[in-house]
Structure formats: structure tokens, C-alpha cells
Structure 1
Amino acid sequence: MRALVLCVLLAPALSACRYNFVPLIPPQIEPELPARVTQATLTRDGETLRLQAQVDGRFEPGYLSVAWFNGSAPIGTDSVYLDAAQRRAAFSLRAPEKGAYRAVLSFGGTVLRQVELYEVEP
């Protein structure tokens, strides 16, 4: 008899239909994405290589740097200061010969993107 009374009293606490956490609806999480290059193009215009890039995401103002390579040989560097109002950058490099060109973009010491233009076999 005691066991039956005990089971009846504990039944509501042991039922499977109850919430397991509080609050019932968790708060919405807003992710903070790091700086990233969303658009980058490397094209040739006559004897000049042109690189266009756009940085999106949340970032502190700083320099977007580019390191130019022909194959594995470094051929130049450049940088542009970016902030919340100026998120686009344009770079150019004189390169009269066809080659296997790469441009490595970095922001704050972190490499963000590499763009390539292969006019010959690398």
C-alpha cells in the first residue's frame, strides 16, 4: 500500500512531459564575424595588373596589404588604409610580361585571400 501511495505521489515529478531547461526559449545569438574579403578580382589591363578587393565584417581600422608573386618569386608589396567608411581597395602593379601571377591579401597580419591570374603554366 505504501509503495502504491509513493508511486502516485512521485508520478507527476517522473513524467516525461516537462521542460528540461529555463528559459523555455533561449535568447537569440548574434555572431560577430571576423573581417573577410568578399570580392576580389585580379585582371590585366595592358602592361598593368589590377586588383580590386572589398573587406566585409567587423574590423578595427587598419591596412589591407597585398604581396605580389610571379610563380614563387616575390615581385612587390603595397597597402591601403581601410576603415568603416572605406571598405574597398584597388591595387595596381606594372607587369609587362605574361606570367603566373598571385596576389596575397592580408589584414592586420592575417592572410585573408589569395587571387591568381595564370597567363602561362605555373
Structure 2
Amino acid sequence: MSAHILTVDDSASIRLTTRVALTGAGFRVTEAVDGLDGLSKAQAGQFDMIVTDLNMPNMNGLAMIEALRRSPAHAGVPIIFLTTESDAEMKTRAKAAGATGWITKPFDPEQLVKIARKVLGR
């Protein structure tokens, strides 16, 4: 059975790009439009990995990760930031919150697939 990945981004074009790349590699994808939507979907479903933007309305990716990491059910789920942010301090904060990795936009969809395969051991 293929891994199920939750993608969280307020940009429809980024959601499309990530969905096409990941489904093309055989992964199942569920999309969320912001951190609040992502948190709700993550809590309602079971995901093998989460890919999230940082800067979004309603709830940013950092707050979403912090909320997810408080739940034992999500403690070990890999979470990758896919964001325009490249600030070292923000990366440190993200790692402290529980982020597994960081990809800077614009990104190569193949890089995302490689990271997903590596993180998921596939």
C-alpha cells in the first residue's frame, strides 16, 4: 500500500505541483489549505508524512507542527517544511518544534519525491 502524505499550503499552484509530483511517484495525497485545515485533517486521518508551508493564514506551519507534536499519535510522523523562508533562526525554531526537514521554494518536484522516499524508507 502506498504512503499517504498530507500537503498543507495556502497556494493552489504549490498544492497542485506537490500533488502531481507525489502522486506521480505512487504516493496518496490529501491537501489542506492552511495550518488550521492541516491540523484538522491530520487529527482526523492517518498520514505517513506531512509537507507544510510556513507562512499561511489562520494558522502557520510552525504552530501546526507544535500542535501535532503534542499528540502522541503524531510524535513520529515526518514533517517537511516547503517554504520560501531560508532564515537560519527560523530553521532552528522549526527543528525545535519537531520539523524533520526543510525545502526552500522554488523547489524541484523531483527533490521533494527523493526526500519523501528517503524519509519514508521507500
Task: Note whether the superposition's TM-score is higher than 0.5.
Answer: no
Q: Greater CA radius of gyration, 1 or 2?
A: 1
TM-score, normalising length from structure 2?
0.24
The structure where helix makes up a greater share of residues is 2
TM-score, normalising length from structure 1?
0.24
The structure where strand makes up a greater share of residues is 1
